[in-house]
Amino acid sequence: MNLYHHKVQYYETDKMGITHHSNYVRWMEEARIDFLGQIGWPYDKLEEMGVISPVTGIDCKYKVSTTFADLITIEVKVESFNGVRLKLNYEMKKEDTVVCESSSEHCFLNKEGNIIKLKKEFPDLYEALAGL
């Protein structure tokens, strides 16, 4: 799996020149979308199929500050998946230094907002995630 890369933008920093904490959550989403594409399930394809995957939980542990123009690499891994809920872990690094360890939890819903059991309704997607 390829790492996701994000270059810190000036507008993502605060008056002190440090990346505002809210941006790490955005980077998690960018990396998650990239991750899904890499495993063959781009998010736009999921939406076309009628599948949405809202965030049900976020956890971030900030280790080291980042600043404008830092190149952040993000590794995404599946922590758990039971066919209804997915938990992803993110390790964000600046060079060899971990700057943030985080996770996001998601469920899978149809357009009506009902929970989808992927194993039954979308077995190919289920297999792709279960294999990780």
Enumerate the active-site residues.
14
DSSP 112: T
Buried b (16+ CB within 10 A) or exposed e, 58-96: eebeeeeebeeebebbbebeeeebebeebbbbbbbbbee
CB atoms within 10 A of CB 37: 13
Write out the two tokens for 118: 């992927």
Bridge partners (DSSP) of residue 6 are 72
Rounded-to-integer distance, Cα 115 and Cα 100, Å: 31
